[in-house]
Chain A
C-alpha cells in the first residue's frame, strides 16, 4: 500500500504542477499581474495535489494518515516551484537576457554607449523603483523613495547574507 501511495504522491505533484504551469502561462499571456497570479495558481494547485493524495488514500481504504505521501507531494511541488520561479524571472527581468535580445534585433551588435544608455539609464531605475513601490517595499514621498517596514526587513536580511558571505557590494 505504501508503494502505491508514494508513486501516487509523485504523480499527483507532477500532474498538478503541469496544470499550474499551463494556468500560469495562460494568465500571463492574458495580461494578469504576474506575481499575484503566480502565487494564486501555485497555491491552488498545491492544495489540489494534497487533496488528490488524501482522496485517493481514503478511497483505497487507508485507515491511517499517510504522512509520507503528503510530505512527498508537498515537497515535490515546492521543489518544482523553486526551480520554476527563477526561470520565470530570468525571462521577465534579466538585463543580460534583454541585452542579448536587443543585440539580436540590432543585427548582432551595438556600441557600448548605446547599451549603457538603454540599460544603465534613468528609465531602468525608475521602472524598478515603480515595481518596488507597487510591491510594497518602497513608498514614494515627492521625488524621494523611503523603505516600508516590509522593505526594511527584506533589505536587512539580504544585507546580513551579503555581509555573512562576504560578497562585497554586488548588485
Chain B
C-alpha cells in the first residue's frame, strides 16, 4: 500500500507542477516540459520511498508489501502509468484531440450548432481544418519522420520504418488502408 500512497501523492504533485509549468513557463515543446517534470518526480519518488518506513508510520501490518523490495517497482510502475496513460494523455487529448476540438467548437458556436462547412471554417477556435492538419505535418517534421522537398512531403528513413510498422499492424487488424 506504500507504493499506492506514494505513487498517488507523486502524481498529484506532477499535475500541480505541470499546471505551473504550462501557466507560468509556456513552451512550444510541452511534451518535453512534461517529460522533465516526470523524470524529476520519478527521482523524488525513489528518494521518498527510500527514506520512509514500509508502513509509512500509519499503515497496518496487513497493508505492507512483502518482500519490501517489490514495493519500489510497484510504485514506479503505478506512477509511470499515471503519467503516460493519464497526465500525458490528458494533455494530448486536450491539445490535439480532433473529436474533442469539434465538440468544443460546437459548444462555442451560436446556438451550439454547426454544419460541416461552418465547422471546417471555425475549427480550432478559427484556425480552420487545414490548421489542424498543418499542426500534424509540422509535428512529423519536428520529430524527423518526414521532411519537405520543394512542395512535397517525403518520408525520412525513420519515417519509412515507422510507416512500415504501422502498416503491418493495421493490415493485421484488418483496418482499411488510408
Partner of B174, one of A31, A82, A113, A171: A31
Partner of B166, one of A68, A81, A91: A91
Interchain residue pairs with CB less than 8 A apart (30): A29-B172, A66-B62, A68-B63, A79-B78, A83-B85, A85-B85, A91-B170, A91-B175, A99-B153, A100-B146, A100-B166, A103-B163, A104-B167, A105-B167, A109-B154, A109-B155, A120-B132, A121-B129, A128-B102, A129-B116, A132-B103, A145-B115, A155-B100, A159-B108, A162-B94, A164-B19, A165-B19, A171-B98, A171-B132, A171-B135
The A interface, classified by DSSP as helix, strand, loop or mixed, is: helix
Closest to A76 in B: B77
Question: Which residues of chain A come closer than 8 Å to B30, judged between CB atoms?
Answer: 167
Question: Which residues of chain A come closer than 8 Å to B175, judged between CB atoms?
Answer: 91-92
Contact with B along A1-45 (1 / 0, CB 8 A): 011001100100000000000000100110100000000000000
Please report which residues of chain B, range 80-111, place their CB below 8 angstroms from some CB of chain A when the two chains form the complex. Answer: 81-82, 84-86, 89-104, 106-108
Instruction: Flag whether B4 is at the interface (Cβ < 8 A).
Output: yes
Are A144 and B166 also in contact (CB < 8 A) when A103-B154, A105-B177 are? no
Query: Does B62 contact A64, Cβ atoms closer than 8 Å?
Result: yes
Assembly CA distance A128 to B62 (angstroms)? 50
The B interface, classified by DSSP as helix, strand, loop or mixed, is: helix
Given A29-B173, A95-B136, A170-B96, 15 extra CB contacts under 8 A: A28-B173, A99-B137, A103-B159, A111-B153, A112-B152, A126-B116, A128-B98, A128-B102, A129-B116, A144-B113, A145-B115, A155-B103, A158-B100, A167-B22, A171-B97
Query: Does A67 contact B151, Cβ atoms closer than 8 Å?
Result: no
Question: Which residues of chain A come closer than 8 Å to B164, judged between CB atoms?
Answer: 104
Query: Does B145 contact A170, Cβ atoms closer than 8 Å?
Result: no
Interface residues of B (CB under 8 A from A): 1, 4, 18-19, 22-23, 26, 30, 62-67, 70, 74, 77-78, 81-82, 84-86, 89-104, 106-108, 112-116, 119-120, 123-127, 129-133, 135-137, 139-140, 145-146, 148-149, 151-155, 159-160, 162-164, 166-167, 169-170, 172-175, 177-178
Query: Does A95 contact B19, Cβ atoms closer than 8 Å?
Result: no
Are A112 and B137 also in contact (CB < 8 A) when A72-B74, A170-B95 are? yes
Assembly CA distance A83 to B79 (angstroms)? 12
